[in-house]
Amino acid sequence: MVSGTASGWWFRLVAHPTRGVVLAFAFVIVVGAALLTLPGAAEYGSRTSVLTALFTSTGAFSGGLAIVGTGSHWSTFGEVVVLVLIQVGGFGIMTLASLLGLVVVGRLRLRTQLTMQAETGGVGVGDTRRVVLGIAGTTLAIELAVAALLALRFRFGYGQAVGEAVYHGVFHGISAFNNAGFGLRDDNLVRYAHDPWIVLPVTVACVLGALGFPVLLELSRGGRKRAHGRAGHRWSLHTRLTLATSAVLLTAGTLMTCALEWGNRATLGPMAWGTKVMNGFFYAASARTAGFFTVDTGAMEPATLLGTCVLMFIGGGSAGTAGGIKVTTFAVLGAAILAEVRGRTAVDFLGRRIPEAALRQALTVALLGVALVMSGALVLLVVTEESAEAVLFESVSAFGTVGLTTGITGDLPAVGQLTVIALMFAGRLGPITLASALALRQRDRRYTLPEERPVIG
């Protein structure tokens, strides 16, 4: 009787696809932390606490913060564990399981398709096979191309041995496309700030990863049609929203960084003007979700840090390797505000009407994101003596799974580190996925209440 009750409870827990995604994420993070606590995972003479391992595992899986240097603390085995966590976190657990199912048995069970749909967001069940194979092919192609470019540069530009150059190229290529921001140097990419052959490939990989798999797949399908002489189809609203908003944010971020940091001798000041623009563009791309840095973030102007918080909170595209509330959420809310200001009852954008359900979902995601960030910042303010500016930056960076820091991460007490871990986990899941996973079941009322309008504003 007890066994039957326990099995029934477990079935109800994992039956909902989004709850299955939450449990799968947590399981992989715990396994990764266990591997990182092994003696062979750290450099000889270094010890790894359970909290450090859990923080690193969560940060690698979500593409967030780290409290120890990847190259200085972890052995080659530990670095490989971190790299696998980055790849699995960016690729998606259920997407990976679906790919393995296709390889092994040639088909997918319906529950696997539904769970994978919950993880990637918005793909139909009938499209799952094509989506899984498309994601795998796109990921592999971009990561290999970037890894090859970086490996060649490390080999012939910096004199690294062939094996070392390939390893560094693969590590940074995977980390860049999956918007993880983990590097093999304690100074991340600072030593390469003047090298366009390192900075630009990493930037391109970060931008492509931040677009999201639905956009990448649609762009690749359109490219294949044109290559075969067939007329390309019209881009979907999601793709147009993502591309347009991403372009605006990248441009605005580049202009903001260059304008505010141009004369800062601790960041862009000593660089030539072309290098300043390149690093400004790199920072604008990285700040939205990647977390790589070529200058000291902690030395930036307060205005730059505030603008960075906005970029980190918005994040990148949906159903990809990016964090934040997503650019489509930001664009939909902007369109709703514009429609309200103009006195229009319907919200239109790029020649399409946005349904009310999408507006409610965008508002839910944004407000849950604000609640998580502010709650995390409040806890950090209580348990540390850091400034509100640094704490807010840390909280937004953790939620946006960015990985940028003003330098306070390693000094946080245990409670502070656990708070950051929770923020990274919630940010990787996405607020709407987390809220759906916590709901036992959807309830539709069979009646409506009388309508009454409250005073707004």
Q: How high is the pLDDT of residue 3?
A: 52
Contacts of 124 (CB under 8 A, 6+ apart): 117
d(CA 372, CA 312): 14
Please give the mean pLDDT across all residues of the chain. Answer: 84
424, 65 contact by CB (below 8 A): yes
d(CA 28, CA 163): 29
373, 395 contact by CB (below 8 A): yes
pLDDT tens-digit map of 192-222: 999 999 999 999 999 998 988 788 888 887 6
DSSP category for residue 74: B
Whole-Å CA distances, 299 to 115, 195, 353, 390: 43, 21, 44, 12
The string over 54-79, giving b where at least 16 C-beta atoms fall within 10 Å of a residue's C-beta and e elsewhere, is bbbbbbbbbbbbbbbbbbebbbeebb
Q: Give the pLDDT mean for 227-249.
A: 79
* 411, pLDDT greater than 50: yes
No. of helices (H) and no. of strands (E), the chain: 19, 2
- The token pair at 199 is 């900075």
Domain ranges of the chain: 12-223+233-437
pLDDT tens-digit map of 37-94: 998 999 987 889 999 999 999 999 988 899 998 888 999 999 999 999 999 888 765 4
Work out the pLDDT band at 380, boundaries 50, 70, 90.
very high
Q: How high is the pLDDT of residue 106?
A: 44
Residue 393: exposure state from Cβ atoms within 10 A (0-12, 13-18, ≥19): buried
* 443, pLDDT greater than 70: no
* 124-138, 146-160, 298-312: range with lowest mean pLDDT: 124-138
Whole-Å CA distances, 444 to 263, 447, 448: 58, 9, 10
Q: Give the pLDDT mean for 228-238.
A: 68
pLDDT tens-digit map of 256-314: 999 999 999 999 999 999 999 999 999 999 998 888 999 999 999 999 999 999 999 99
Q: Which residue has the higher pLDDT, 343 or 191?
A: 191
d(CA 110, CA 117): 10
- The token pair at 436 is 């759906």
For CA atoms 1, 26, 322, 255, give the dihedral sign. positive
Q: At what angle do helices 17-36 and 431-438 cross, to 10 degrees?
A: 110
Q: How high is the pLDDT of residue 92?
A: 67
Q: How high is the pLDDT of residue 364?
A: 87
